[in-house]
């Protein structure tokens, strides 16, 4: 092992393994600072947590050995984790996105005509998966906490892939709506689960880019869906319509991915097979400064209750509601809007490919900027400004006597910036939520608001308003204007919460200001100041942990 630089700290678990099963004594974590030769005892009282089992799991990985994490170790471990975790998350999220986008393309290839859909029936079918996501929200929270990811994720993938393929068997609105409902039910846990997995393996400074890695498949999915729709649209078959072939193909790929995910996905740091015991200890130490714990399989109602009275829940939920209100417009109605601008269905499909490329670019750009400047609220506002411009351009172009098609197309492409919103908001929420149950619950609530926004969006774009959809565009303009105000309220609330934590630390003899090393680009050991670091690996919520630092 490489020698530790003077800026690093040696973390030693002083409690012998024999004392752990009974959990009758506090655990002493000694921090030896090599520069000052100062011993800082971190006494962790077991009374601080509801379940002593939450302590044993992370502590088992580091007991009886000195844990040194150098900057080189940090980079090496991060690369190993990237290779093993990110490809799975990226591929699975791409499958989920494909399932959503191909539904919009199915409509321009005759689905509504084949099934006899009239008026708002297409909109109704489009919203059924979101109805299921909103209804399943409480159960998603419970499953994410109780069921290990290795089992939960493949089950969800198999379920939504089957539902996607079954959409091809629909012959009326009822059959299509039922398949869409089950599609949404299995997809309900996807975004919360992926976010919790990302938070478990990565430091807070690393999370935005990792969320962007899997969420950016939204743009890739748009491109793939465009190309698939164009290719399958050329197929002439008496047995199956083009839209049915697309649904079957995407569903089959998804179903066959489930066993692959089961084989390669790991549950957590403590039980993973691609790290040895010392590497596991370093991986746990790496995320200590997050102050969000290392995971727990106990579902805690106290955490759920905290989500209810935490104002962050509703502000982040409102952000989700706003951004997904607009996102559904482009997802479900993008191809239709392009077709109604006068383009053929094949051209409309191809014109969505650059839109997907812009989505991909803006997602990465937004997440990179949040990592670079250590700010989320300000970056979110700057990324939503082009969306406001785009909606305004669409509205203006469509209210003229002769529609300004080029201006409308430019406005439509500006909407691609809204996809940078979700990864920023998700990483913002995860960074500001402590405790496994609370993280899962608040992300499920976020997904519920996501679903509500996705339900409301298409319903405002009725076929009676075609081809210009002026009322829907007017409502969308108002929603994104309101989002700017909610974003400002989030910033103010987090500032006040940090001031509250400072007062709490002073009251117990800790420093008012602490260095949030989890947000540093270069790794730095946490716990150098007196009495700090004792809560980091416990399953404590951000309200119960006075060392928690909120991220703006």
- What confidence tens digit (pLDDT) does each residue in 163-216 have? 999 999 999 999 999 999 999 999 988 889 999 999 899 998 899 999 999 988
Task: Identify the CA nearest to 521 among candidates 74, 69, 2.
Answer: 74
DSSP reduced 3-state for 29: strand
Task: Identify the CA nearest to 450 among candidates 102, 95, 98, 140.
Answer: 140
Q: Hey, what CATH topology would domain 73-495 get?
A: Growth Hormone; Chain: A; (1.20.1250)
- What confidence score (pLDDT) does residue 535 get? 67
DSSP reduced 3-state for 31: strand
- What confidence score (pLDDT) does residue 451 get? 86
Q: Could you report the per-residue pLDDT of 73-109, keeping only the tens digit for each?
A: 999 999 999 999 999 999 999 998 887 778 878 887 8
Rounded percentage of the chain residues whose pLDDT exceeds 90: 37
Q: Please, are residues 376 and 366 in contact by the beta-carbon 8 Å criterion?
A: no
Distance CA 416, CA 387 (A): 7
> Is the pLDDT at 23 greater than 60, yes or no?
no
Q: Which long-range contacts (CB under 8 A, 24 or more apart) does 516-521 make?
A: 516/204, 516/289, 516/549, 516/551, 517/289, 518/203, 518/204, 518/205, 518/287, 518/289, 518/290, 518/291, 518/549, 519/204, 519/205, 519/374, 519/551, 520/205, 521/205, 521/371
Model-level pTM?
A: 0.77
Which two structure tokens, joined as six digits, stand for 326? Answer: 């607009």
Which two structure tokens, joined as six digits, stand for 502? Answer: 């400072």
- Mean pLDDT across the stretch 101-118? 85
- State the chain's mean pLDDT as an integer: 81
First and final C-alpha spacing in the chain: 37
Q: What is the DSSP letter of 2?
A: P
Q: What is the DSSP letter of 417?
A: G
Element (H, E) at 63: none
* Tokens 């846990």 sit on residue: 189
Distance CA 2, CA 68 (A): 9
Is it true that the peptide bond before 439 is cis, omega within 30 degrees of 0?
no
pLDDT band with cut points at 50, 70 and 90 for residue 58: very low
Which two structure tokens, joined as six digits, stand for 338? Answer: 């392009």
């Amino acid at each position: 092992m490489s020698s530790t630089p003077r800026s690093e700290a040696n973390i030693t678990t002083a409690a012998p393994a024999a004392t752990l099963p009974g959990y009758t004594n506090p655990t002493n974590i000694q921090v030896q600072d090599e520069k000052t030769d100062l011993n800082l005892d971190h006494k962790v009282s077991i009374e601080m947590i509801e379940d002593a089992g939450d302590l044993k799991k992370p502590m088992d990985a580091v007991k009886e050995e000195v844990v040194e994490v150098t900057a080189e170790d940090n980079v090496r471990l991060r690369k190993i984790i990237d290779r093993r975790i990110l490809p799975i998350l990226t591929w699975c999220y791409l499958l989920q996105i494909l399932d959503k986008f191909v539904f919009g393309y199915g409509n321009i290839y005759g689905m509504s005509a084949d099934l006899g859909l009239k008026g708002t029936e297409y909109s109704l079918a489009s919203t059924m998966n979101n109805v299921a996501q909103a209804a399943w929200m409480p159960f998603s929270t419970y499953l994410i906490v109780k069921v290990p990811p290795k089992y939960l994720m493949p089950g969800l993938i198999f379920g939504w892939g089957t539902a996607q393929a079954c959409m091809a068997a629909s012959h009326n609105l009822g059959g299509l709506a039922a398949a869409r409902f089950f599609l949404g039910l299995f997809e309900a846990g996807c975004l919360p689960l992926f976010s919790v997995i990302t938070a478990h393996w990565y430091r807070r400074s690393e999370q935005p880019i990792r969320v962007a890695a899997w969420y950016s498949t939204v743009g890739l999915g748009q491109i793939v869906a465009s190309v698939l729709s164009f290719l399958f649209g050329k197929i002439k078959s008496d047995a199956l319509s083009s839209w049915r072939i697309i649904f079957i193909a995407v569903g089959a790929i998804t179903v066959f991915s489930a066993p692959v995910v089961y084989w390669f996905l790991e549950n957590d740091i403590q039980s993973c097979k691609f790290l040895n015991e010392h590497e596991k200890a370093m991986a746990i130490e790496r995320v200590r400064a997050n102050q969000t714990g290392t995971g727990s399989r106990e579902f805690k109602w106290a955490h759920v209750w905290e989500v209810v009275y935490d104002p962050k829940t509703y502000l982040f939920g409102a952000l989700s509601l706003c951004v997904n209100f607009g996102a559904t417009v482009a997802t479900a109605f993008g191809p239709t809007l392009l077709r109604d601008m006068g383009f053929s269905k094949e051209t409309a499909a191809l014109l969505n490919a650059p839109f997907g490329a812009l989505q991909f670019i803006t997602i990465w750009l937004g997440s990179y900027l949040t990592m670079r400047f250590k700010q989320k609220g300000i970056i979110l506002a700057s990324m939503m400004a082009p969306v406001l411009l785009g909606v305004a351009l669409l509205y203006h172009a469509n209210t003229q006597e002769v529609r300004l098609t080029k201006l409308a197309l430019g406005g439509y492409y500006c909407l691609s910036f809204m996809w940078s919103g979700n990864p920023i908001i998700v990483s913002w929420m995860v960074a500001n939520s402590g405790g496994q149950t609370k993280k899962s619950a608040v992300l499920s609530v976020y997904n519920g608001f996501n679903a509500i926004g996705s339900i409301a969006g298409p319903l405002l774009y009725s076929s009676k308003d075609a081809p210009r959809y002026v009322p829907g565009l007017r409502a969308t303009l108002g929603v994104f204007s309101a989002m700017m105000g909610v974003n400002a309220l989030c910033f103010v609330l987090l500032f006040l919460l940090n001031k509250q934590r400072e007062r709490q630390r002073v009251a117990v003899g800790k420093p008012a200001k602490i260095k949030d090393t989890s947000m540093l680009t270069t790794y730095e050991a946490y716990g150098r100041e007196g009495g700090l670091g004792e809560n980091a690996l416990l399953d404590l919520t951000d309200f119960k942990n006075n060392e928690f630092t909120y991220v703006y």
